[in-house]
Structure 1
Amino acid sequence: MAAELGYYTLSVRDLDRAEAFYGALFGWEFRREHERYLHVNSTAVPMGFVPDGPSAQPNLYFHVADVDAAVKRVLELGGSVGEMLEARSGRGCACTDDQGTEISIWEPVPGYD
């Protein structure tokens, strides 16, 4: 199963402040998805911000063709999976590998990747 980084988020305390700071710093353009998510429209690798931070590390979402098959494989390899989340952009969930490292897997809807 081939997978590449398909999306990532940065956790911040305040989305409005993040928009002002990173917009001024990098010239990024944004789209507010809802009160808990700020998407960046102008980066090569899609990304966004969530108000769950601050965090020293980004939240990595690996793009998979079949999230259900990937979940099954995570479990077979001794990892664990969280709740499956569905959004306009696709389906995905947080996972933990067999050493406790957290990642997320994401299957985008057609046309979103």
Structure 2
Amino acid sequence: MTGQVSFIEFGGRDAMTARSFYGKLFGWSFESGPGGDGYAIEGVGVPAGVHGGDEGASPYVFFQVDDLEAAAADVERLGGTVEVMPGGDDEESVARFGEFRLCRDDQGSPFGLHRPPQH
């Protein structure tokens, strides 16, 4: 289904520090991501992750799409912007989490597109 919230990503300066903060605050548990620099979060109610190297980031909400490239083209056609997330297209990550594009709408507000893993 298209348009459902399908993934939430938390960014921070340091992934371990963010893991400690959110783990203590909400009781979440974490599993190392494929690249070793991020973590999958258990207990959020929707697939979620945390990564470092993104100081001051707000949580990113990703909306499910069936055709990632077509949806990205629509964002740009409507005046928004799209970027590939660093490291987000490696085979292991795509198989485990799906594909992502970080976007900004025509007013600059961030959101994401997510095509879940194809199992």
Which among 91, 96, 109 is matched to residue 104 of structure 2?
Answer: 96
Give the match for residue 70 of structure 1.
Answer: 71
Aligned mates of 2:11, 2:99 — CA distance in 1: 20
Aligned mates of 1:53, 1:75 — CA distance in 2: 24
Q: CA deviation at 1:39?
A: 1.0
TM-score normalised by structure 2 residue count: 0.78
AA paired with 2:84? E
Q: CA deviation at 1:16?
A: 2.0
Q: Deviations over 1:3-24 (max 9, x none)?
A: 0221111112222222233223
Q: CA deviation at 1:92?
A: 2.0
AA paired with 2:4? E
TM-score normalised by structure 1 residue count: 0.81
Cα distance, 1:5–1:55 mapped onto 2, change above 3 Å: farther
SS state at 1:72 partner: helix
Higher helix share: 2
Q: CA deviation at 1:52?
A: 2.7
Cα distance, 1:4–1:55 mapped onto 2, change above 3 Å: farther
Aligned residues: 111
SS state at 1:18 partner: helix
Question: Which of 4-13 and 19-28 deviates more?
Answer: 19-28
Q: Contact 1:2 / 1:64 at 8 angstroms: preserved in 2?
A: yes
Cα distance, 1:96–1:37 mapped onto 2, change above 3 Å: same
Aligned-pair identity (%): 32
Aligned mates of 1:18, 1:96 — CA distance in 2: 24
Q: Contact 2:12 / 2:57 at 8 angstroms: preserved in 1?
A: no
Q: CA deviation at 1:56?
A: 5.4
